[in-house]
Structures are given as structure tokens and as C-alpha cells.
Amino acid sequence: MIAASDLKAGMTFVQKDGSLIKVLEASHHKPGKGNTVMRMKLRDVRSGTTYDTTFRPEDKFDQAIIETRTVQFLYAMDQMAYFMDMDSYEQYEIPTENIEDEMKFLVENMEVKIQFYGSEVIGVQLPTTVVLHVTETQPSIKGATVTGSGKPATLETGLVVNVPDFVEEGEKLEINTQEGAYVKRAGK
């Protein structure tokens, strides 16, 4: 059992009705009057539904035991993403609607970890940064510096990030997967 006050972003727990819930955001809130509450943004792992709620800090939940395996992302087709275990060559499929945010960073043959609750595949764990190609952006500006306001760039996965003015089409960029933000050039 785990108390609501101990839940952190990224943790998964089982509610009394059996639903598997992932914590997206968690914060203590102390209103002017009354008791402290835990404000949480949660996602039902199975249905993909995201919602905001509050708990008393002493509320208890069963913490879900989540296992991970290293897999290779093969491809996405017909609202399904296909992955292959690197050791056993077993294949797994996950509905793309359940991993919408992660799909913005996945390219074919990329190694990621998939998460299991028992034998059920429940999600994808991305590395902290990924390298993606720029497919479309405005031409670079001569003499541009890193401190400029930047410009939007479309990456090979369709993700749009703000990049410095000197970045050109065809370049590889390192992108932070938590923030969806440009980190640095990764070479050509």
C-alpha cells in the first residue's frame, strides 16, 4: 500500500475498482481553510482517459508492480504500434491511442522499453533524449546565434519544436522527450 502523499509523477497504482492509474502530475495543495489535499493529474492506463482529481494525503492505494523489457520499435499501422523483444524476438502490439505522446518521438528500429503489469503491455518508456531529423524549417539566417528567438522545425515524426535560427533542414537534433524541446545538434 502507498499513501496518496507519496505518489509521484510516473508512478502507477491500482484503484479499488481494479483500474490501473498512472500519475502524470502530483502536488500538495493547502487551501486557506481546511486540510491539505493532493492535486493529481492521472491517466487510466487501459482506456487512455486523462483526468484531474484530489485525494486526502492519507488515502491508500495498491502500488502496481511494473516490469520493463528492452524492445525495438518496428512500425505503426492501423492504429497499432508494433514492438519486438530484442532477446526472444517476441512481438507486442500497443494501440497508438494509448501511447499518443510517445509516438511523437518513435522512429523505426529505435530501442525503447515497454512496461508490463503482469502479462499486460501497458505503455512505452522513452529514453531521456532522442535524435530526430529536421524535415522542414525556414532557411537559416546568416550570423544567427543561439540566443535568438528561434523558429519552428518539423521533425521526421511530425513533432514540431522551436529551434535556434541556425538549424537547417536535414540536420539531426537531440530532443528532450519529457519536455519535447530542442537540446542540441547531433551532427549531420
Output 3 or 83, whichever has higher pLDDT. Answer: 83
pLDDT in tens, 115-156: 888 888 888 888 888 888 888 888 766 655 555 577 888 888
Q: Which three cell numbers stand for residue 125?
A: 518508456
Strand pairing of 91-95 and 129-137?
A: unpaired
**Count of alpha carbons within 13 Å of 145, Cβ hemisphere only?**
2
Phi, psi dihedral angles at 15 (to 5 degrees): -80, 170
Residue matched to cell numbers 531521456: 128
Going along the chain from its start, the domains and CATH numbers come out as 2-63 (2.30.30.30), 66-125 (2.40.50.140), 129-185 (2.40.50.140)
Which residues pair with residue 184 across a beta bridge? 174
Per the CB < 8 A criterion, the answer to whether 126 and 101 are in contact is no
Per cent of the chain over pLDDT 90 is 5
pLDDT, residue 156, reads 86
pLDDT in tens, 42-65: 888 877 788 888 888 888 888 888
| DSSP designation for 64 | P
